[in-house]
Homo-oligomer: A and B are copies of this chain.
Amino acid sequence: MGVKERRAREKEQLQQQILSAARELFVNEGYENVSMRKIANKIEYSPTTIYLYFKDKADLLDSVCKETLLNLLNTLERLKRDNTDPIETLRKSGKAYVEFGLEYPQDYKLTFVIRPQFQKGLGLQEGSVGEKVFNYLREMVSECIQQQIFHQADVETTGQVLWSAVHGVTLLLIDFPDFPWTEKDKLIDTVIETTIAGLKA
């Protein structure tokens, strides 16, 4: 009776194959410039096959995003495990957050900019990966406040200020690649340092 299991395995493999092809194309060519036919070509199936595995193109991007956000969450939580100093963890987390956005700009923009526009409140609703990421930020900030590193005691506001800073610099770097930015790493570091310094003051 292993037939059903094998079939299920094969389906899952193809689903993953579609997902991988879509990710690669989305990242390299941009969501709008990737057609279902292009994805189908890449995996050597007919375009309609994709619809047996994903509701539509947006669902496909949704799935790609969820995967990458899980990666981000993993990266962040690994950081927390390896570090004991909360302020240092916060620093590294901020950097990792921005770098994630720059590595997967399409995913980042869909999740944090495009999708909320059409599906209001769906980006950070309960149980979503996005919410888990913000919860991670809450925990870190909370530790910093407990150790009296930050002057202000409001976890929520402090977290939101930090998030604004990293979100802002991430999107600016993504959206205006030709602007004469300060060297990328220096800018990111300065944004994070400035915000932390401001919270300490």
Q: Hey, which bits of chain A sit against chain B, CB under 8 A?
A: 30, 32, 109, 112-113, 116-118, 120-121, 123-125, 152, 154, 156-157, 160-161, 163-169, 171-172, 175-182, 186-187, 190-191, 193-201
Q: Are B165 and A182 in contact (CB under 8 A)?
A: no
Determine the distance from Cα of A163 to Cα of B109 in the docked complex, in whole angstroms. Answer: 18
Q: Are B116 and A176 in contact (CB under 8 A)?
A: yes
A135 to chain B, nearest CB (A): 12
- Partner of A168 from B123, B171, B194, B199 at Cβ < 8 Å: B171
* Inter-chain contacts of A164 with B (CB < 8 A): 165, 168-169, 172, 191
Question: Whose C-beta in chain B lies nearest to the C-beta of A175?
Answer: B116
Among the interface residues A123, A125, A190, which one has the most CB atoms of the partner chain B within 10 A? A190
Q: Are A171 and B161 in contact (CB under 8 A)?
A: no
- Partner of A165 from B121, B168, B176, B181 at Cβ < 8 Å: B168
In the complex, besides A161-B191, A196-B198, 15 extra interface pairs with C-beta distance below 8 angstroms are A32-B32, A112-B175, A121-B179, A152-B190, A157-B187, A161-B169, A161-B190, A163-B168, A164-B172, A165-B168, A168-B168, A168-B169, A168-B171, A194-B199, A198-B201
